[in-house]
Amino acid sequence: MCTAILCSLFVISAVFADDDFETILRKRNNLLQEELNMMFGSDIMLSDSEEQANKIIMELKTKEIDYGFGNPHHFNFSKHFFEYNDEVKDTELFKLIKAMPKGAMLHAHDTGILSPDYVLALTYKDNLFVCFEEDNINFLFSLETPTASCKTVWQSLKEARYSSGNIEKFDAALRKYFTLVIKNPNQVYTDINAVWSKFQQYFIVTTPLFSFKPIWEQYFYDTLKALRDDNVMYLEIRSVLPTLYDLHGSKYDTIDTAASYKKVLDEFMEDYPDFIGAKLIYAPLRSVDNNTVKEYLKIARELKKKFPDFFAGFDLVGQEDLGAPTKEFLQTLYEAKDEFEYFFHAGETNWYGTSSDENLADAIILNTRRIGHAFAITKHPLLIEEARKKDIAFEVNVVSNKVLKLVEDIRNHPLAVFLAQNLTVVISSDDPGLWEAEPLTHDFYVTFIGVASRHADIKLLKKLALNSLYYSTYHNKDKMVYEFEKRWTKFINTIVQDQ
Amino acid sequence: MCTAILCSLFVISAVFADDDFETILRKRNNLLQEELNMMFGSDIMLSDSEEQANKIIMELKTKEIDYGFGNPHHFNFSKHFFEYNDEVKDTELFKLIKAMPKGAMLHAHDTGILSPDYVLALTYKDNLFVCFEEDNINFLFSLETPTASCKTVWQSLKEARYSSGNIEKFDAALRKYFTLVIKNPNQVYTDINAVWSKFQQYFIVTTPLFSFKPIWEQYFYDTLKALRDDNVMYLEIRSVLPTLYDLHGSKYDTIDTAASYKKVLDEFMEDYPDFIGAKLIYAPLRSVDNNTVKEYLKIARELKKKFPDFFAGFDLVGQEDLGAPTKEFLQTLYEAKDEFEYFFHAGETNWYGTSSDENLADAIILNTRRIGHAFAITKHPLLIEEARKKDIAFEVNVVSNKVLKLVEDIRNHPLAVFLAQNLTVVISSDDPGLWEAEPLTHDFYVTFIGVASRHADIKLLKKLALNSLYYSTYHNKDKMVYEFEKRWTKFINTIVQDQ
């Protein structure tokens, strides 16, 4: 028995009294468990079959992690991507993730998706001319020897190849222009600008190749095909929409270029009606002045009018650290914000407090629908909260960030923090062709084993796929999710049956 | 005019109406400003003189960052520490930070603080014998040729040196055992275990050198001297407290070793009464069984009894990824928790969801006073909250984490996130002698320019210094802070006067 005051004192002392060890152990385990319960993907409920499949997948995953934990020199994910991108393809877990329906690809640049071998094969097409310069190469499709400026001479690529005396060597030299993959990446790509310089050279070199209208259409068709083969069902593709040309001297402007894409998409959808579709994000270069951005927006207006179902919105591309900061166009972009959905690249940097870092604030204030990369946002707790309130998704590209030298050991990628904080994330691949990765499988694979917690399981994978659908701009989400669920169930059943 | 209902509708529509551009721009800038206002150090109020000094310091800082932003291949902090540790010493900003009172050093291991040149000089002492083995070296002080086991032969170091024919070359070869600094660190230290292996070899090789009682005492005296020269006023030093020996065959146990430290400290305080003091954290090796931890705690009890003012508390050391996880000793440590202050290393890892990562939970549940490193804690939002509630400080060692390969580009160090979230941080240097850094200046310098926001200013520096006092276990904080403020004011006045 106790009086009211004494009783409350007892209660207080009980609260402050030492716990016994069992209680402390439970508290310790609960703390970690609660974190798992709030982690990205924790809201996914698994069916019995999914639980069974999960066991199989987690056995493969923890086996790999635990071996790496004991033998870090054998752990792939602390190494350069180029050291393991090929060999992992033979692993059971990679094959499972390849077979897994991965939903949508929401952050990719249209001419960086297919492999260097694919691009090399394009150089076997008729009417291609080449001009070799020191450390550079120019292409042009033409019926006659081009008269375009060139530091040496234009010659038929076919003739150059066959007169080289060694076709294999010739092609190997050519192929180097179509990939970032090399043997000693850390010695050659000594800093971010060095790798970006090579990265941008790819786009400069390949533009006259890809902007030949028949190739342009072929490349997009084959991209859709590659995505479908990688079990991706929908695409939102960023493009600068370059001027196209043909053999008869005709030029095709931005609107025509978009029309080409729309035409190819329609053909593809006819050939493969199980594919859900694709949309276009018009994403011209950011290193321009405000008047040029106004011109961009005029074009965007026309695109929206001409292709209301195909046009998704607007973005600006190019290395953020080199400018121009989004802030310079803030008013222009703000005034157009009710006309367009924005999908701004922002915070693709490891600087903190610079203009590239602060692009994150501009993207958010402009109500961007998604943020491309958002790599730097862990340093911005208020921006994270704003993004959460506005339901802005982060398009994370882990392999790209590794190859383009934002992060060295993938285990330090801020995606781990995003997942721990249950931020809205979709996984994409940026320019997988340049690092010889599958359209989406490598990024899912690296995320799952290399970045996420050892405890993160199939719920993470499913949530990543579902998010890519929810945060797409596709008009009929129900249909999309329904289609996805069908494929997912089939995927799960295959794993369980193959057991 | 409007009725009540209509009025409130107007108000609502005004709230939801589009802001004009000026408002949006203000919102954007406010968002970033609010983040600065909540950043680590933002609660420090600056005097007029401090504002003036701040301007000078920030001019130097932003000049360096802005140049690096435009020329990343010239930016030191994305490179290996060994590429710039020496050359930065000549910069004005480094000299300022060296002169700055930095408060206390709270995370350092006793035999890893002084430079390889200092250690090399010790090998010139009399009565030192050496036995060269393949890739290894044994030292022993002795009056006669030692009989201890050795794969080749024991010889007098003096004789070995002078009979080598080339003293410079001989010393250079010797010196390599006393430093991690090499020309191509990334090629030699290919993974964390490789660099830890070399790191641990240093401690194995130097133990018989340092545990010679006269050297042991000399080293500690000179450590205190080096700290004072680096404008550090107080130290909490971790030690495994090895058995010491002398030339007469006597051995000195853990308690004697601690007594040596206490004696040296008293001498030093007499010689330099402006130094505030030092305390000891008993930190034996973690790769042991539970019974050994019980033995450790027995020793700790004795230390506490014998040196009530000098003994600060208990920790366990060694590469966490290699075990043993703190969880294995949880009950033992829990049962002793009211007897000792704990200062556990935890989360010095880039694994996520492994036992080394989960040491963070054990440290926190054991009410550790501070956490050594806490590198992995950004992946644990609940543990961060718990640490905040319990007012646990993180002892961050940026340069150590770089050299020991937890992080490659220092701009990705989680400390940036700690600072953005205003977590309780102190900066220390772990084992600065092994990477040829000043006791504390390099770590402050790298933090200030390489890790913190471009906008982080002298408030950050002052808060780091003050935190090191507040989160120390020194009994008279008022005196300490008073002494610090005197020196700080002098430092500020010197900057302003030198202008």
What residues does B132 pair with on adjacent strands? B137
Q: Is the peptide bond before B324 cis (omega within 30 degrees of 0)?
A: yes
Show the DSSP H helices in B252-369 as ranges: 254-271, 290-306, 330-335, 355-365
**Based on the number of CB atoms within 10 Å of its own CB, is B438 exposed (0-12), middle (13-18) or buried (19 or more)?**
buried
The pLDDT of residue A300 is: 98
Comparing CA positions, the residue from A499, A474, A468, A431 lying closest to residue A231 is A468
B78: CB partners within 8 A, 6+ apart? A191, A192, A350, B72, B409, B410, B411
State the Cα–Cα distance between residues A417 and B378, nearest whole angstrom: 6
β-bridge partners, A245? A212, A251
Average confidence (pLDDT) over A204-229: 98
A280, β-bridge pairs: A237, A311
B15 has a pLDDT exceeding 70: no
Say what angle helices A477-498 and A48-70 make with each other, to 10 degrees: 70
- Condensed to tens digits (0 to 9), the pLDDT of residues B240-268 reads 999 999 999 999 999 999 999 999 999 99
CA separation for the pair A439, A422 (Å, rounded): 25
Q: Please check whether residue A75 is in contact with residue A451, taking contact to mean a CB–CB distance below 8 angstroms.
A: no
The distance of B319 to chain A (nearest Cα, Å) reads 12
Q: Could you tell me the end-to-end alpha-carbon distance of chain A, in angstroms, rounded to an integer?
A: 63
Terminal C-alpha separation, chain B: 62
> Where residue B18 falls among pLDDT bands split at 50, 70, 90?
low
Residue A189 predicted with pLDDT over 50? yes
Query: Per the CB < 8 Å rule, is B454 touching A25?
Result: no
Strand pairing of B425-427 and B311-314? unpaired
The 3-state DSSP class for residue B427 equals: strand
The confidence score (pLDDT) of residue B186 equals 87
Q: How far apart are CA B465 and CA B446, in angstroms?
A: 15
> What letter represents residue A297's amino acid?
L
Confidence of residue A213 (pLDDT cuts 50, 70, 90): very high
The C-alpha of B185 sits at a distance from chain A's nearest C-alpha, in angstroms, of 13
CB atoms < 10 A from the CB of B275, how many? 19
Give the C-alpha separation, A278 to A236, whole Å: 6
- Per-residue pLDDT averaged across A51-67, rounded? 97
A373 is known as an active-site residue: yes
Residues of B carrying an active site annotation: 348, 373
pLDDT at residue B193, as a whole number: 87
The confidence score (pLDDT) of residue B2 equals 44
pLDDT tier for residue A341 given thresholds of 50, 70 and 90: very high
Residue contacts between A and B (CB atoms, under 8 Å): 167
Record: fold of A81-115+202-495: TIM Barrel (3.20.20)
pLDDT tens per residue across span B334-365? 999 999 999 999 999 999 999 999 999 999 99
Instruction: Please state, in angstroms and rounded to a whole number, the distance separating the CA atoms of residues B370 and B376.
Output: 15
Q: Which residues of A touch B38 (CB under 8 A)?
A: 381-382
Element spanning A27, H or E: helix A21-38
* Whole-number pLDDT of residue A72: 87
> pLDDT (tens digit, 9 = 90+) per residue, B278-305?
999 999 999 999 999 999 999 999 999 9
Contact A390, A368 (CB under 8 A): no
> Among candidates B445, B450, B444, which has minimal Cα distance to B464?
B444
Q: How far is CA B85 from CA A192, A412, B433, B436, B438, in A?
A: 21, 24, 12, 8, 9
Average pLDDT value for residue range B470-497: 97
SS3 B280: strand
Q: Quick one: CA dihedral B170, B173, B177, B180, positive or negative?
A: positive
Contacts of A193 in chain B (CB under 8 A): 72-73
pLDDT at A4: 46
The SS3 call for residue B409 is coil
Interface test mutation site (partner B, options A412, A417, A449, A460, max chain B beta carbons within 10 A): A412
Q: B4 pLDDT exceeds 70?
A: no
Is residue B236 a contact partner of residue B441, using CB atoms and an 8 Å limit?
no
Per the annotation, the verdict on A413 as an active-site residue is no
Token digits for B449? Answer: 């320019």
Residue B11 pLDDT class (50, 70, 90 cuts): very low
User: What CA–CA distance (Å, rounded) separates B129 from B146?
Assistant: 7
A249 has a pLDDT exceeding 70: yes
DSSP designation for A446? I
Tell me the pLDDT tens digit for each residue of B402-461.
999 999 999 999 999 999 999 999 999 999 999 999 999 999 999 999 999 999 999 999
Residues A317-323: what's their mean pLDDT? 91
| Band of pLDDT at residue B78, cut at 50, 70 and 90 | confident
On the question of pLDDT at A14 being above 80, the answer is: no
Side chain identity at A211, as an amino acid letter?
S
Q: Minimal CA–CA distance to A313: which of A253, A363, A243?
A: A363
Q: Residue B133: how many CA atoms within 13 Å on its side-chain side?
A: 8
Count CA within 13 A, CB hemisphere, residue B454: 19
Q: What does DSSP assign to residue A155?
A: E
Residues of A in contact with B354 (CB under 8 A): 65, 69, 454
Percent of chain A with pLDDT over 90: 91
| Tally of helices (H runs) and strands (E runs) in chain B | 20, 13
In this structure, of A189-193, B255-259, B396-400, B445-449, the range with the lowest mean pLDDT score is A189-193
Cα–Cα dist B259/B366, whole Å: 28
Per-residue model confidence (pLDDT) at position A77: 87
Packed helices A213-229 and A254-271: angle between N→C axes, nearest 10 degrees: 40
For residue A10, name the pLDDT band (cuts at 50, 70, 90): very low
pLDDT over threshold 90, residue A303: yes
- Residues in chain B within 8 Å Cβ distance of A408: 407-409, 412
CA distance B116 to B114: 7
Distance CA A178, CA A197 (A): 13
A499: pLDDT confidence band, cut at 50, 70 and 90?
confident
Interface of B with A in 1-40 (CB under 8 A): 18, 21, 24-25, 27-28, 31-32, 34-35, 38
Nearest to A337 by CA among A354, A373, A313: A313
**Angle at CA A450, nearest 5°, toward A448 and A455?**
55
Six-digit token string for B87: 């050359």
Q: What is the pLDDT of residue A191?
A: 85
8 Å CB contact of A408 and B408: yes
Mean residue pLDDT across chain B: 94
Tokens of B368: 């550790």
pLDDT band per the 50, 70, 90 thresholds, residue B16: very low
Angstrom distances, CA of residue B457 to CA of A232, B20, B349, B463: 47, 33, 29, 10
Query: What's the CATH number of domain B81-114+213-495, 1.20.58.100, 3.30.70.1070, 3.30.70.520, 3.20.20.140?
Result: 3.20.20.140
The answer, yes or no, to whether residue A40 has pLDDT greater than 60, is yes
Nearest to A350 among B65, B364, B411 (CB): B411
DSSP string, A83-110: GTTTGGGGSHHHHHHHHS---EEEEEET
Q: Which amino acid is at B188?
A: V
CA-based nearest residue in chain B for residue A19: B334
Query: Mean pLDDT across the stretch A292-311?
Result: 98
Task: Find, among B98, B99, B96, B76, the residue nearest to B87 by Cα.
Answer: B76
- B67 interface with A at CB cutoff 8 Å: no
For B392-408, what is the mean pLDDT?
Answer: 97
B 329-348 residues with CB < 8 A to A: 330-331, 334-335, 338
Test the A interface: residue of B351, B406, B415 with most A CBs within 10 Å: B351
Is the Cβ–Cβ distance between B331 and A21 less than 8 Å? yes
Does the beta-carbon distance from B412 to A416 stay under 8 Å? no
Q: Is A289 on the interface with B (CB under 8 A)?
A: no
pLDDT at B103: 98
What pLDDT band is residue A487 in, cutting at 50, 70 and 90? very high
pLDDT band at B74 (very low <50, low <70, confident <90, very high): confident
Instruction: Flag the least confident range among A61-75, A109-123, A477-491.
Output: A61-75
Instruction: Tell me how far apart the alpha carbons of residues B72 and A322 are, in angstroms, rounded to a whole number.
Output: 11
Residues of A (227-266) whose Cβ lies below 8 Å from B:
none
Q: Where are the domains of chain B?
A: 81-114+213-495, 119-178
- Give yes or no for residue A7 having a pLDDT over 50: no
Q: Which residues of A touch B418 (CB under 8 A)?
A: none
**In chain A, % of residues over pLDDT 70:** 96
Summarize the confidence of residues A278-298 as an average pLDDT: 98
- For residue B191, the model assigns a pLDDT of 85
**pLDDT band at A18, cuts 50/70/90?**
low
Tokens of B324: 């043993």
Q: β-pairing, A155-156 with A128-133?
A: antiparallel
Higher pLDDT: B281 or A7? It is B281
**Cα-based angle B72, A393, A333 (whole degrees, multiple of 5):** 70
Query: Does residue A182 surpass a pLDDT of 50?
Result: yes
